[in-house]
Amino acid sequence: MKAPKLGMRVAGSAEFRLLIECCRAGHSGRSGADIPATIDWQHFLRLARFHRVEGFAWNHLSNQRGAPPSVEQALADSAARIAATSLQAAAESRLLLDRFAAAKVPLLFLKGLTLGALAYGNPALKAAIDIDLLVDPGDLRKASELLRNAGYRLTTPRESSADRILQSWHRSWKESVWIKSPPRLQIDLHTRVADNRRLLPSIDVHSPRQIVDIGSGIQLPTLADEQLFAYLAVHGASSAWFRLKWISDFAGLLEGETPERIDHLYRRSQELGAGRAAGQALLLADELFGTLNQNSPLRNELERDFATRQLYSAALKLLTGEPNEPTEQYLGTLTIHWTQFLLLPGARYKMSELLRQANRPLVRARS
């Protein structure tokens, strides 16, 4: 089989490349490249919404003054909504932290506001539709009671499900979904960080952590840098990186890091069980944001692995394609499903992934 070629930096349409510049400006706080004269602004707006980076698009374009007023206004409205949602999520996160601490239930916040602060310095620009919480599997019942007492109802699996069904669900799925309104707030309650237990088996709520200031005097615990790097790589790989927001977050976390530090994070991710997901993430971040510009030895090492190049090429094709949800297209999730088999080498992992994917529809049907 012929090895897939790596893309030519930067891949995608002119509108997609401009969106990358908007995200890049969010990483560094500096103005990006000039706006091309040939931009299809309606397509750009559609891309920004699909990839959930309207806040970064508005932040960049409002300084450049090159977009039509109607597009600027649409992005400004989205940015205001994102900022308001972030404020609500921040206040709710502080309440949840206090409730879980009072009940002596260890808790970590994944992605969301903490990642926004680490990757961009301003979590109010980063869109998020949920608050991701990580708890110990043994604390699932306590955590579910705390959420119900805070006004949340279980939606996935169904609220009518018995506790034993929730426990069964979490054996096959890494998270359950909880909703409260008004205002509408969603919590993804995680009992592990990856659906396949062979990925990142040692990362859990008791892993090394860091405290992140998200503003307004609110400080939240999240994974320490090494564990966070590995987790973000696997999280993105679990959806084949089809949204720009995810790889922008990953690249933003590495902005300004030395080649030696990035190399260390990659090596550590292999010890933690991130497998080829970390290489896939680094090649994508390099293609779009130049993350490995000063680290050609690591880039060359990753490019020599055929499976990693396959993962990279498959994700890049999804990222730069038409902005459609994979679930809304015929066989749209096929890339997501088959790439999961490449994340770790060996027959045991592939068999575990086959059983996991085959079992999930059965668990969903019973719930």
Q: Is the dihedral of CA 25, 29, 30, 34 positive or negative?
A: positive
pLDDT at 31: 63
Cα 176 from Cα 172, distance rounded (Å): 11
- The pLDDT, as a whole number, for residue 124 is 86
pLDDT of the residue at 273 = 98
| pLDDT of the residue at 5 | 43
pLDDT of residue 3: 38
Residue of 160 and 42 predicted with greater confidence: 42
Torsion angle defined by CA atoms of residues 233, 237, 242 and 244, in that order, rounded to the nearest 10 degrees: 0
Report the pLDDT value the prediction gives residue 263, as an integer from 0 to 100.
Answer: 98
Contact 199/277 with Cβ under 8 angstroms? yes
**pLDDT number for residue 174:** 96
Tell me the average pLDDT across 184-197.
Answer: 96
Average pLDDT over residues 57-65: 87
Q: Is the pLDDT of residue 133 over 80?
A: yes
* pLDDT over 80 (residue 93): yes
pLDDT of residue 158: 84
Q: Evaluate if residue 281 carries a pLDDT over 80.
A: yes
Task: Quote the pLDDT of residue 7.
Answer: 44
Q: Burial, 170: exposed, middle or buried (Cβ in 10 Å; 0-12, 13-18, 19+)?
A: buried
Q: How far is CA 325 from the centre of its chain?
A: 16
Domain assignments of the chain as residue spans, ordered by start:
14-366
User: What pLDDT does 365 receive?
Assistant: 67
Share of the chain above pLDDT 70, in %: 94
Q: What Cα–Cα distance (Å) separates residue 23 from each residue in 180, 236, 285, 309?
A: 31, 17, 12, 24
Which residues does 234 contact at the CB level (< 8 Å), separation at least 6?
Answer: 193, 194, 199, 200, 274, 275, 277, 343
Q: What average pLDDT does the structure give for the chain?
A: 92
Q: Is the pLDDT of residue 86 over 90?
A: yes
48-52, 159-163, 250-254, 323-327: segment of lowest average pLDDT: 159-163
| For residues 115-140, average pLDDT | 93
Q: Which of 20, 4, 24, 1 is nearest to 12 (CA)?
A: 20
Q: Is the pLDDT of residue 267 over 50?
A: yes
Give residue 6's pLDDT.
Answer: 46
Q: How far apart are CA 298 and CA 302, in angstroms?
A: 6
Token pair, residue 102, equals 């009072």
At 182, the pLDDT band (50, 70, 90 cuts) reads confident
Residue 131 contacts residue 185 (beta carbons within 8 Å): yes
Q: Residue ranges of the alpha helices (H) in 103-139? A: 112-120
Q: How would residue 33 be classed by pLDDT, with cut points 50, 70 and 90? A: low
The pLDDT of residue 32 is 58
Q: Is the pLDDT of residue 68 over 50?
A: yes
What band does 367 get if pLDDT is binned at 50, 70 and 90?
Answer: low
pLDDT tens readout for residues 354-364: 999 998 877 77
Express each pLDDT in 199-254 by its tens digit. 999 999 999 999 999 998 999 999 999 999 999 999 999 999 999 999 999 999 99
